[in-house]
C-alpha cells in the first residue's frame, strides 16, 4: 500500500480529549474534564458554523429556564472507528419543566470550562413549550451518527 497524505485518526480523537496544544502558546490550564452546557435559542437568532462562543443574545427566556442552559451529561469518551473520530453526550439533554412561549429552533453545545467556546449548533423545527420538559435525544455514539465527528 503506498503512502497517503492524511490527518491521522488518533489526532482527530486526541483533539477532542485535549492532548494537543498547537501553536506558540498553551492556553489550556486545567487537567480535569471540561463542563459542557447546552442553551436554547430563538428562531430569530443567527447561530451556525461562525458561532465561536456562547452569548445570551437571542437565547430563550421563560419560566423554569436559566440563562446559559443546562449541564450536559458528558460520560462518553471520544472514540474512533476506521478513520473517523466521534463523540456524543451520554444522555438526553433535558430542560426541566419550562414554559418557553417564543418560538425557538436550535441549541448550542458549548464548553463552559473553556471561555464558553462553541462546540456545535443543533437545529430542529420551530418549537414552543408550556409547562413541560423539553428534551433533545442524542444520536447513537458511532462513526456514522455521533454528534461530533471528524472524518
CA distances from 80 to 20, 76, 117, 151 (A): 17, 12, 23, 10
What's the confidence (pLDDT) of residue 34? 86
Structural contact between residues 117 and 110, judged by C-beta atoms closer than 8 angstroms: yes
- Sequence ranges of the domains in the chain: 9-150
CA distances from 67 to 12, 29, 63, 95, 117 (A): 32, 26, 11, 12, 16
Surface-to-core class of residue 23, CB atoms within 10 Å of its CB (0-12 exposed, 13-18 middle, 19+ buried) = exposed
What's the confidence (pLDDT) of residue 24? 74
Which set of grid coordinates corresponds to residue 100? 418557553
Query: How far is the C-alpha of 118 from the C-alpha of 48, rounded, in Å?
Result: 10
CA dihedral 76, 81, 85, 90 (to 10 degrees): -20
What's the confidence (pLDDT) of residue 58? 95
Kindly tell me if the per-residue pLDDT of 59 is higher than 90.
yes
| pLDDT above 70 coverage of the chain, percent | 94
Q: What is the pLDDT of residues 67-84, one digit of tens each?
A: 999 999 988 889 999 999
What's the CA angle centered on 84, arms 82 and 85, to 5 degrees?
120
Amino acid at each position: 500500500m503506498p503512502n497517503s497524505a492524511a490527518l491521522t485518526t488518533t489526532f482527530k480523537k486526541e483533539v477532542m480529549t485535549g492532548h494537543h496544544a498547537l501553536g506558540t502558546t498553551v492556553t489550556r490550564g486545567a487537567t480535569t474534564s471540561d463542563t459542557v452546557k447546552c442553551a436554547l435559542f430563538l428562531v430569530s437568532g443567527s447561530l451556525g458554523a461562525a458561532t465561536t462562543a456562547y452569548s445570551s443574545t437571542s437565547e430563550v427566556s421563560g419560566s423554569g429556564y436559566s440563562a446559559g442552559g443546562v449541564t450536559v451529561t458528558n460520560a462518553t469518551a471520544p472514540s474512533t472507528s476506521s478513520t473517523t473520530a466521534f463523540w456524543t453526550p451520554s444522555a438526553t439533554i433535558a430542560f426541566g419543566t419550562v414554559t418557553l412561549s417564543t418560538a425557538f429552533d436550535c441549541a448550542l453545545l458549548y464548553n463552559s470550562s473553556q471561555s464558553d467556546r462553541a462546540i456545535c449548533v443543533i437545529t430542529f423545527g420551530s418549537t414552543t413549550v408550556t409547562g413541560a420538559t423539553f428534551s433533545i435525544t442524542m444520536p447513537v455514539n458511532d462513526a456514522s451518527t455521533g454528534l461530533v465527528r471528524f472524518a
